[in-house]
Amino acid sequence: PVPRDYRRARTVADPAGLLARRLADYRAVVHRVGADEVAGTIRRCLADRGVSTMAVPADVDPAWCADGVRWLPDAPPEAALSVAELDRVDGVLTGCAVAIADTGTLVLDTGPGQGRRMLTLVPDYHLCVIPAGRIAAGVPDALARLDPARPLTFVSGPSATSDIELDRVEGVHGPRTLEVLVADDP
C-alpha cells in the first residue's frame, strides 16, 4: 500500500491573490476583476494588444466575445479549426477547469469553455478567465476536483524553455503570452 498521509487540504486566506502573484512570477499578465467587469476587461485587453481575430471554444460565454473582434468558434468535429487557421489568429480566449494557487497553474480538461488541447497550444496569445470559485489552494485540492479520465493540460505561465546557456526562449511549446483574468464570483 502507498502511504497517503500527506497534506490533502490547505487553507489560504486569499487564494485568488496567491494565484495572481504566482502567475505574475511566471511572467503572465494578471488582472483581478469583479464578476461584472469580465467582458469590459476582455475588451480592453484585446484592444490594448490590437487583436482583430480570436479563436474561441464554441461553448464559451458569449458575453466574453467583444464587438470589433472577429471570433472563430472551434466546434469539433464538424467545424474544427485547422492548425493553419489557429496559427493565423491573434489568440485564443478560454476558461479553465481549475487553477492552483500554490503553483500558479491553470488546468484545462477540454470541459465547458475550454475547447480542445490544440486550441490553447497553437495561438501565440492565450487569454484565460478564471472565476475565483475554480481556484484550489494546492495540488491535492485541485486533483480532487478533476476527472483523471479527461485529457489534462497544466499551464504555469507562458510557454518557455532555456538552452544550455540558460537563454530563455518563449513560445516554443505553446503561447508566448498568457494573460489571465481572475474574476470574483458573482
pLDDT in tens, the chain (186 residues): 887 777 667 788 999 999 999 999 988 999 999 999 999 999 999 999 999 999 999 999 999 998 999 999 999 888 999 999 999 999 999 999 999 999 999 999 999 999 999 999 899 999 999 999 999 999 999 999 999 999 999 998 665 555 666 665 555 556 789 999 999 987
What is the C-alpha end-to-end distance of the chain, expressed in Å? Answer: 43
CA torsion through residues 150, 141, 59, 122, sign:
negative
Q: In 3D, which of 39, 59, 37, 57 has the Cα closest to residue 47?
A: 39
For residue 56, give every residue at least 6 positions away whose Cβ sits within 8 Å of its Cβ, in sequence order, or none: 64, 65, 71, 72, 73, 74, 92, 93, 94, 115
For residue 126, give every residue at least 6 positions away whose Cβ sits within 8 Å of its Cβ, in sequence order, or none: 91, 92, 94, 120, 155, 174, 175, 177, 178, 179
Q: Residue 150 gets which letter from DSSP?
A: S
Q: Domain-by-domain residue ranges, the chain?
A: 15-183
Domain 15-183 maps to which CATH number in 3.30.43.10, 3.40.50.10420, 3.30.210.10, 3.40.470.10?
A: 3.40.50.10420
Q: Residue 63 gets which letter from DSSP?
A: G
Cell of 57: 471554444
